[in-house]
Amino acid sequence: MKVINYFTLCTLVLLVSCTKNMVPLSYPIQKSKTADSAMVVSAHPLASKVGVDIMKKGGNAIDASIAVQFSLAVCYPVAGNIGGGGFLVYRGANGETSALDYREKAPAAAHSDMYLDKDGKALTDLSQFGHLASGVPGTVDGMWEAFNKYSKLKDWKALIQPSIDAALYGVVLTEREARGLNSNTPDFDKVNKGKTVFTSKVWKAGDILKQPDLAKTLIAIRDKGRDGFYKGKVADQIVAEMKSGNGIITHEDLANYNSVWRKPLITSYRGHDIITMPPPSSGGVVLAQLLQAIEPYNIKDIGFHSPFHVHLFAEAERRSYADRSKHMGDADFYPVPVEKLISPEYVYNRMASFNYEKATQSDQIEAGKVKESDQTTHFNIVDQEGNAVSMTTTLNGGYGSNLVIKNAGFLMNNEMDDFSIKPGVPNLYGLIGAEANKIEPGKRMLSSMTPTIVLKDKKPYIVIGTPGGSTIITTVFQGIVNIIDFDMDAAAAVAAPRFHHQWKPDMIYIEKGTISQETRDALLKMGHKLMDRDKIGRLEAIVINKNGKKVGGADPRGDDDANGY
């Protein structure tokens, strides 16, 4: 009886809301914006606007973050999610810092050889596509946690309603989004039985994407909070979907999911405090290593994209990513030697083999000895009181596992591929791992997501982050250096061309058409291997000026948008 009442109520709510406003939502994109009070920079103009509206209503940066996370699940399905997870780094105006880990967890039935065939061959198709690729989603629990700890508005429903409206009335697709959905159709078709909301037609710019099933799921979350997702109808839908394929997520896995508040990793760079994400992200540790490795050098004067700039950064990256592959994983399961890895002596010793004129070969680099495609999304928010949130959230690959939960209308993650499914076998981003990141029930897969807040004189100065798989850390690294050392403003810092090295493959990846031929020739002479590639990351930054103004920079590589007031 209760169930019937609940769904009758949902239908009524749908009808009432539909008659209230039938206009699909579409907003212009701003790449750079300066504001006195508050700022949001996200991957989608609708999400940025939702965040700003929440703060205008008196919500703080956390309230706005929750609303933006849910909005992105509707207007940015390639990465925005409720079927995935993420990390939130917070710094309150009162000086409090915290880090919320709402990363997915391996289901209880997961085991270390679940993606190996009988001959021990790795089956990456299974860790990347369909039912078996998903970890237990963390997003809804994470947002519920953040709300209960920090909300100022104290109105959960008001934070979810904008996403319900967007799902019901529809979102106008940009050219990029239409192209993304169309080109992904074969993968959606491979994983789902029959058509999904994303494959219901061939999309073009200006089309309206309506997601009524997703609206119902969001209504359950709006009305029942965390339990609207992890228990009841939506949980039943997830488990039924899992059973209809080769999935292993159970009701118990869902009910038992918990996000965790962690102590952020705090390091320093040229007198600034860097507040970033600890394990299960490798992002904070690697970022701390990279900043320390370059700190002895006068970066400002060596010249942007000079041979020495690229050489030094690539050599530091080579060493840190070697450490990542061996020493990093979920610290709740494996003793990640964080303190050791980020200690100045350790980083200094790692750089001792750095030759000013010659590339080191990755095969000669082992992890240090210690004793012990736009498919993620990032946003930054600073509110009128000076609270700051840096948040990266993901389904892992574009559209995650491609599996749309039947009748519930949302995409599931393929985060299990971020585990090392077999030592030495590269994941989606070419990263390799070992024991520290092997699959175990209830464990979180190692991430590269690096949401970061930088303080200057103990006040928020830069809020920054990006998607990009393995390139996330080096992109955030370059963004911070662009602002602190190369004196770029927020828009220039996020737009500047980027490069990336990750130890293996032994290669400097360079955004196509960037870095001068002269620099490239010098790097080749030093023994580096270079490879052009498509865009690296979608970096978002807010810089808070001396006069307190918030300057948002949204990456021109996507439809990213800066909005504030």
List residues binding ligand DON (CB under 6 A). Answer: 373-376, 394, 396, 415, 418, 447-449, 467-469, 472
User: At its nearest, how many Å lie between ligand DON and the CB of residue 137?
Assistant: 13
- Residue pair 460/453 in contact by the 8 Å Cβ criterion: yes
The least CB distance from residue 84 to ligand DON, in Å, is 9
What single-letter amino acid sits at 563? N
Q: Does the active-site annotation cover 376?
A: yes
Which tokens hold the place of 356? 């000013």
Q: Are 501 and 508 in contact (CB under 8 A)?
A: yes
In DSSP terms, 105 is beta-bridged to 136
**Cβ distance to ligand DON smaller for residue 211 or 375:** 375
Compute the CA torsion angle 305, 300, 318, 338 (nearest 10 deg). -150
For ligand DON, give the closer residue by CB, 387 or 466: 466
| Token representation of residue 73 | 């699940």
Using the minimum distance from each CB to ligand DON, give the nearer residue, 80 or 467. Answer: 467
Beta strands in 337-387 (DSSP E): 376-382
CA distance 464 to 77: 22
- Least separation in angstroms between residue 307's CB and ligand DON is 28
Cα–Cα nearest to 187, from 420, 43, 375:
375
Contact indicator for 558, 375 with CB cutoff of 8 Å: no
Distances 353 to 168, 231, 312 between C-alpha atoms, Å: 58, 54, 12
Minimum distance of ligand DON from residue 427's CB (angstroms): 9
Query: Which single residue is written with the structure tokens 């609708």?
Result: 46
Q: How far is the CB of 414 from ligand DON (least distance, A)?
A: 9
Task: Give phi and psi for 310, each to the nearest 5.
Answer: -70, -40
Question: Distances in Å between the alpha carbon of 366 and those of 326, 328, 363?
Answer: 9, 14, 7
69's enclosing H/E stretch is helix 61-75
Q: Which of 376, 377, 394, 471 is the catalytic position?
A: 376
Min dist CB 402 to ligand DON, Å, is 14
User: Closest Cα partner for 438 from 408, 418, 461?
Assistant: 418
Just list the catalytic residues.
Answer: 376
